[in-house]
Amino acid sequence: MEELENHALKILVVGDSGVGKTNIVGRFLHNTYNPHANSTTHAQQHIHTLNIGRRKVTAQVWDTPGGEEHMGTMSGLYEGAVGAMLVYDVTSAQSFQNITEWLEDMKEERDDYIVPMLVGNKCDLDNQRAFPVFDAEFFAIRNDMLFMEISALEGTDVDFAFKTLLNHCCRYSSSHSTSTKSFTSSSFTSS
């Protein structure tokens, strides 16, 4: 039997407050949804191990606080990250417009490349959509980002989004000879 490649990857989930980051993480980790989830006030780290193809991936997923007051204060979190989900709410044009600021903040705080994925949450509320999906697709293409729409409420494509991002991170880190070592607890420390 062929041995699996081991990957330890740090992924950030960022975006405005109220876009559903905590429920996206909860759906991915435990297949749960909490309609009464409170806004995240400080970054929360979660470890999740899964197999993706011939890879054993240990993902350190960081659920981060939203809001302008937290932009520029997350430099320690970006350290060591290889991927980021930049999340907006499809019913909120403002949360989509703020993605530009989240992306700029990420680029300013991290010299190394982070695989970015634009994620539109709440696609189950299509009848309340604030702007056409084409706008998000165009933004993602223009900024060299992966793109998906998901629903944390219904679980639509949440696992697929994480696995897609993690797969791209594995491929990127393998081709750049970073973070392909076995997971150790010291691999995931924040400064």
pLDDT tens per residue, range 93-120: 999 999 999 999 888 887 788 999 999 9
Identify the helix (H) or strand (E) that includes residue 160: helix 158-175
Domain extents for the chain? 5-183
Query: What do you get for the CA distance between the two ends of the chain, in Å?
Result: 39
For residue 74, pLDDT beyond 90: no
CA–CA gap between residue 63 and residue 10 (Å, rounded): 11
Average the pLDDT over 79-104 and give the result: 96
Local structure of 88: helix, strand or coil: strand
CATH 3.40.50.300 fits 5-183, yes or no: yes
Among 130, 127, 140, 138, CA closest to 91 = 130
Give CA torsion, residues 166, 170, 171, 172, to 10 deg. 90
Q: What is the pTM of this model?
A: 0.87
Residue 18 CB partners (closer than 8 Å, separation 6+): 39, 66, 89, 92, 95
The predicted-structure confidence for 142-166, as pLDDT tens digits, reads as follows 999 999 999 999 999 999 999 999 9
pLDDT of residue 191: 34
Under the banding of pLDDT at 50, 70 and 90, the label for residue 183 is very low
